[in-house]
Structure 1
Amino acid sequence: MATFADFNFQPFINKALAAINFTHPTEVQQRLIPTIMAGKSVVGQSQTGSGKTHTFLLPIFNAVDPHTQVVQAVITTPSRELAYQIYDAAKQIVRFNPAIVVQNYVGGTDKQRQISKLQRTQPHIVIGTPGRINDLIRRGALDVHRAQMLVVDEADMTLDLGFLAETDAIAGAMPRDLQMMVFSATIPEKLRPFLRKYMENPVVEVVENQQVISPTIDNFLLSTKGRDRNQLILKLLTMGEPYLALVFTNTKERADELSTYLRHQGLRIATVHGGIQPRERKRVMRAIHNMEYQYVVATDLAARGIDIEGVSLVINDDLPQDLEFFVHRVGRTGRNGLSGTAITLYGPGDDSKIQELEGMGIHFKPKELKNDRLVDTYDRRRRQQRGKRQDHMDPQLRGMVKKAKKKHKPGYKKKIKRAIAKDAQQKRRIERRQKMRAQRKQRRDNW
């Protein structure tokens, strides 16, 4: 098994890794760290919790020259919370080489103070949100024209939140022979023009999760039919003793509404969403990390990249609008080999979303609440499965079967079999054509 010693890092990095008990690299680290250290641009596609942050931080720290007081690396990330997390990870390394200066620039902080400090000295490594970093560059305060490395972390989220233009401007202010490192859970089609603009033949590594959801997580599905959703969440939070419970909502309005209800029931609730002022959000996140809260209500802002230690229970108030966020939400629990529970509430109109999640390889255990306990219940698809063979049949064929059965004309069975065989053959042809188109498209998109 590979160890971090195999990468031949500088001694101060090895000391930092020993201090945080990192011995064996994750798969994405094992694949990409040597490539980054060789100076190549990379695209790393892997899920939350795969170790992406140290995949780029370690080679950057290894390459930085502390005796040259210029910006040498810029790391962008789409949210303040993610920026703070990367900054905290960087500070763990800086402790063992204080000569390297790392600064964090995000919106909602004192811009004028940052500009004043930059006029005196430039940091070696810049971490922050695209909007604030680009603003400092435009004002002539932050000088990145000699920086050789740019990291775009959570690139798909950067695109979704509308920060790609700012990221583009940052890359445009840097040297042409830039080493770019892009990390993302997915690589949407709309992101590809940006990647082609700045990356020529990058090394692309797609690290597939062996399991979509960790085997240490009990993934339950609970129907809200005939129940008040607020009361149901209150019961789920209080019938056990979660070490730390995280409830996800789709909107900040719903987060506020649910938080208010739970507070009125006597629970001490921390609320995290994009509508809360940055200073307050930072204070709340610090309090959560210090275990001052047992219950947290949050939007998907907190679902990606936020490491809150000790989450034992995750409740999805509703299925996320973007189903990819489901994995990020549930992945907040069951980490580092610890067990966790995820409970997803669903209504009568959510079947198609659940089927889509199941198609992604996510498996649910159906549960219901009885006598203040979660007990096994029937699979919601039981009726569908009864008529499964018929449901997969073309509607026209289904009508033919019913009609033929009623009339019982001679040869009707052979006629039906021929029609079914013809229908199946046609479907196979369509599937083959779709597969060939997808393969051609993939070849065109290859780097």
Structure 2
Amino acid sequence: MSFETFAFQPFIYEALAEKKFTQPTPVQEKLIPVIQKGKSVVGQSQTGSGKTHTFLLPLFDKIDSTKEEVQLVITAPSRELATQIYTAAKQLATHATPEIRVTNFVGGTDKKRQIDRLASQQPQVVIGTPGRILDLINERALKVHTASAFVVDEADMTLDMGFLEEVDKIASHLPEKLQMLVFSATIPEKLRPFLKKYMQNPVIEEIKAHAVISDTIENWLISTKGKNQDRLIYQLLTTGQPYLAIVFANTKQRADEITTYLREKGLKVAKIHGGIPPRERKRVMRQVQNLEYQFVVATDLAARGIDIEGVSHVINADIPEDLDFFIHRVGRTGRNQLHGTAITLYEPSQDELITAIEDLGVDFQPKEIKNDEVVDTYDRNRRKKREQKKADELDPTLIGLVKKKKKKIKPGYKKKIQWEIDKTKQQKRKIERRQETRQARKHKKKSSQG
């Protein structure tokens, strides 16, 4: 299928050509026709599935740029995500005639200036964080009652960050006859009452990824047992020369610790997490995208909300409790069919978490650092696998005798069975010894002839 199948307005095709987008992704293929029919949608899909253009393309196609009113409202749970959607929307808008007016309303920006601008002109497309959009509605500056479509992006993250109440209040200001699109990586139980309240018989579509993690990504697993974790991260960043590496930590405090250690070691490191003021975070992001930094330390805010191109290495300093975040983190590398390396550090006590990740379809390669070089090492399950192999190779006669012995039977018969087991084991050992002797003779004979 090609984008021509959707019969968009010419300006959409100009924008797609500029982006060199030729074929729709599976999520676009399935949901664009549904959105074009005006139906409400709950779309469940993983990061990197082309979700943003899934809703932007058909909704922009319907916008009347001659009407001076709000026609589309899009919320995102973080400033970074909102800005990412805004950038994609602005690229489409510039190709329309007249140009579609798109605004980005996020916290940490000048609200008074935004109110003044809205007094003279309303945008046709509103994108932003729930708190700021609701503020502008409550100030009677932003008039959303004319909107025909409402998009809630990353709904599960919106819920986790405590913004669902604001989204609910925004929805209450929108007209009853409304096309609503909710996109989320997961659909938590706590999200369902909100969906029921505003959506009647929506099309629910789960787009399963062909592979949980791209096959262009190598997944390395390194044990931290008896090692200094910060030193290990430093070694990994300075061994093998990554083009651009992101180190993920579970908490702001841990991200601060790693950054301090790496900076003390002389590395130029960018730090991105929720505790950094918005303006500074924006500046750091711009510097990272301009390749002023080779190393970035971040929390999961970056995994879901920031799109950095050219990431060659991802290091999980901590394993996230929510394994969805593991997929999002690793998905930062290996994009556009480029090779990527994801490195996960773990302690032996986290074995169950590693097994849970493997159950998602992740194939780990066990590694260690030796003489400043990353080398293959033993599989952590080797003993378990060896025991399993031995059990599989156990003589069927012995298995039968052991089972018999476990049953409640007369003591004399039990002795007899034990004797049979010992006898069978003895015979097996004799055969093995005989084979070893034969092999040794053959080897001796060959050596003497040589």
Q: CA offset at residue 108 of structure 1?
A: 0.8
Q: C-alpha distance in 2, partners of 1:300/1:408?
A: 64
Which residue does 1:118 correspond to in 2?
118
1:45-60 aligned within 5 A: 45-60=44-59
* Contact 2:405 2:414 (C-alpha < 8 Å) held by counterparts: no
Q: C-alpha distance in 2, partners of 1:382/1:137?
A: 61
Structure-2 change in CA distance of 1:122 and 1:225 (3 Å): same
1:9-20 aligned within 5 A: 9-20=8-19
Q: C-alpha distance in 2, partners of 1:315/1:12?
A: 41
Which residue does 1:103 correspond to in 2?
103
* Contact 2:242 2:313 (C-alpha < 8 Å) held by counterparts: yes
Which residue does 1:203 correspond to in 2?
203
Q: Secondary structure at the match of 1:68?
A: coil
The normalised TM-score by structure 2 is 0.86
Q: CA offset at residue 403 of structure 1?
A: 9.6
Q: C-alpha distance in 2, partners of 1:158/1:360?
A: 24
Which residue does 1:6 correspond to in 2?
5
* Contact 1:103 1:123 (C-alpha < 8 Å) held by counterparts: yes
Task: Tell me which amino acid in the other structure corresponds to 1:284.
Answer: V
Which residue does 1:94 correspond to in 2?
93
Q: CA offset at residue 126 of structure 1?
A: 0.5
Q: CA offset at residue 249 of structure 1?
A: 0.5
Which residue does 1:420 correspond to in 2?
none
Which residue does 2:160 correspond to in 1?
160
Q: Secondary structure at the match of 1:336?
A: helix
Q: C-alpha distance in 2, partners of 1:408/1:366?
A: 51
Structure-2 change in CA distance of 1:385 and 1:103 (3 Å): same
Q: C-alpha distance in 2, partners of 1:408/1:300?
A: 64
Task: Tell me which amino acid in the other structure corresponds to 2:237.
Answer: L
Q: 1:128-155 CA distances to partner (integer Å, 9 max, x unpaired)?
A: 1111111111111111111110001011
Structure-2 change in CA distance of 1:176 and 1:411 (3 Å): farther
Q: C-alpha distance in 1, partners of 2:134/2:106?
A: 10
* Contact 1:252 1:274 (C-alpha < 8 Å) held by counterparts: yes
Q: C-alpha distance in 2, partners of 1:19/1:289?
A: 20
Q: CA offset at residue 363 of structure 1?
A: 1.6
Which residue does 2:307 correspond to in 1?
307
Q: C-alpha distance in 2, partners of 1:373/1:413?
A: 58
Task: Tell me which amino acid in the other structure corresponds to 2:62.
Answer: A
Q: Structure 2 regions of 5+ residues with no counterpart?
A: 392-401, 418-450
Q: C-alpha distance in 2, partners of 1:154/1:408?
A: 68
Q: C-alpha distance in 1, partners of 2:387/2:279?
A: 56
Q: CA offset at residue 237 of structure 1?
A: 0.2
Task: Tell me which amino acid in the other structure corresponds to 1:18.
Answer: A
The normalised TM-score by structure 1 is 0.87
Task: Tell me which amino acid in the other structure corresponds to 1:33.
Answer: I
Structure-2 change in CA distance of 1:403 and 1:257 (3 Å): farther
Structure-2 change in CA distance of 1:388 and 1:167 (3 Å): farther
Q: C-alpha distance in 1, partners of 2:306/2:270?
A: 15
Task: Tell me which amino acid in the other structure corresponds to 2:30.
Answer: R
Q: C-alpha distance in 2, partners of 1:412/1:153?
A: 71
Determine if the alignment matches structure 1 residue 247 to structure 2 residue 227. Answer: no
1:397-436 aligned within 5 A: 404=406, 409=411, 410=413
Task: Tell me which amino acid in the other structure corresponds to 2:67.
Answer: T
Determine if the alignment matches structure 1 residue 68 to structure 2 residue 97. Answer: no
* Contact 2:44 2:185 (C-alpha < 8 Å) held by counterparts: yes
* Contact 1:49 1:305 (C-alpha < 8 Å) held by counterparts: no
Q: Secondary structure at the match of 1:150?
A: strand
Q: C-alpha distance in 2, partners of 1:412/1:84?
A: 78
Structure 1 window deviating more from structure 2 (130-139 vs 12-21): it is 130-139
Task: Tell me which amino acid in the other structure corresponds to 1:22.
Answer: F
Structure-2 change in CA distance of 1:377 and 1:137 (3 Å): same
Which residue does 1:444 correspond to in 2?
none
Q: CA offset at residue 401 of structure 1?
A: 7.9
Structure 1 stretches (4+) deviating beyond 6 angstroms? 400-403, 411-414
Which residue does 2:268 correspond to in 1?
268
Q: C-alpha distance in 2, partners of 1:153/1:210?
A: 22
Q: Secondary structure at the match of 2:271?
A: strand
Identity %: 64
Task: Tell me which amino acid in the other structure corresponds to 1:143.
Answer: K
Q: C-alpha distance in 2, partners of 1:199/1:65?
A: 25
* Contact 1:74 1:151 (C-alpha < 8 Å) held by counterparts: yes
Count residues with an aligned counterpart: 405
Determine if the alignment matches structure 1 residue 229 to structure 2 residue 267. Answer: no
Q: C-alpha distance in 2, partners of 1:370/1:193?
A: 54
Which residue does 2:435 correspond to in 1?
none
Which residue does 2:357 correspond to in 1?
357
Which residue does 1:238 correspond to in 2?
238
Q: Secondary structure at the match of 2:304?
A: coil
Q: C-alpha distance in 1, partners of 2:72/2:384?
A: 55
Task: Tell me which amino acid in the other structure corresponds to 2:225.
Answer: K
Q: 1:140-181 CA distances to partner (integer Å, 9 max, x unpaired)?
A: 111111111000101111111111111111111101111001
Structure-2 change in CA distance of 1:128 and 1:302 (3 Å): same
* Contact 2:94 2:100 (C-alpha < 8 Å) held by counterparts: no
Whose radius of gyration is greater, 1 or 2? 2
Determine if the alignment matches structure 1 residue 173 to structure 2 residue 148. Answer: no
* Contact 1:404 1:412 (C-alpha < 8 Å) held by counterparts: no
Q: Secondary structure at the match of 1:183?
A: strand
Q: 1:19-56 CA distances to partner (integer Å, 9 max, x unpaired)?
A: 01011000000100111011000111110000000001
Determine if the alignment matches structure 1 residue 36 to structure 2 residue 31. Answer: no
Which residue does 1:396 correspond to in 2?
none
CA RMSD of aligned residues (A): 2.2
Q: 1:86-121 CA distances to partner (integer Å, 9 max, x unpaired)?
A: 111111112212521000011111111111111111
Q: C-alpha distance in 2, partners of 1:175/1:291?
A: 45
Structure-2 change in CA distance of 1:99 and 1:354 (3 Å): same
Q: CA offset at residue 384 of structure 1?
A: 2.9
Task: Tell me which amino acid in the other structure corresponds to 1:269.
Answer: V
Q: 1:345-365 CA distances to partner (integer Å, 9 max, x unpaired)?
A: 001221111111112222211
Determine if the alignment matches structure 1 residue 367 to structure 2 residue 367. Answer: yes
* Contact 1:48 1:305 (C-alpha < 8 Å) held by counterparts: no
Structure-2 change in CA distance of 1:404 and 1:251 (3 Å): same
Structure-2 change in CA distance of 1:201 and 1:386 (3 Å): same
* Contact 2:78 2:305 (C-alpha < 8 Å) held by counterparts: no
* Contact 1:73 1:125 (C-alpha < 8 Å) held by counterparts: yes
Q: C-alpha distance in 2, partners of 1:220/1:281?
A: 30
Task: Tell me which amino acid in the other structure corresponds to 2:384.
Answer: Q
* Contact 1:13 1:58 (C-alpha < 8 Å) held by counterparts: yes
Q: C-alpha distance in 1, partners of 2:299/2:88?
A: 24
Q: 1:300-342 CA distances to partner (integer Å, 9 max, x unpaired)?
A: 0000142211000000001012111000000000000000000
1:123-134 aligned within 5 A: 123-134=123-134
Q: C-alpha distance in 1, partners of 2:240/2:340?
A: 13
Which residue does 1:335 correspond to in 2?
335
Q: 1:194-215 CA distances to partner (integer Å, 9 max, x unpaired)?
A: 1111111111111111111100
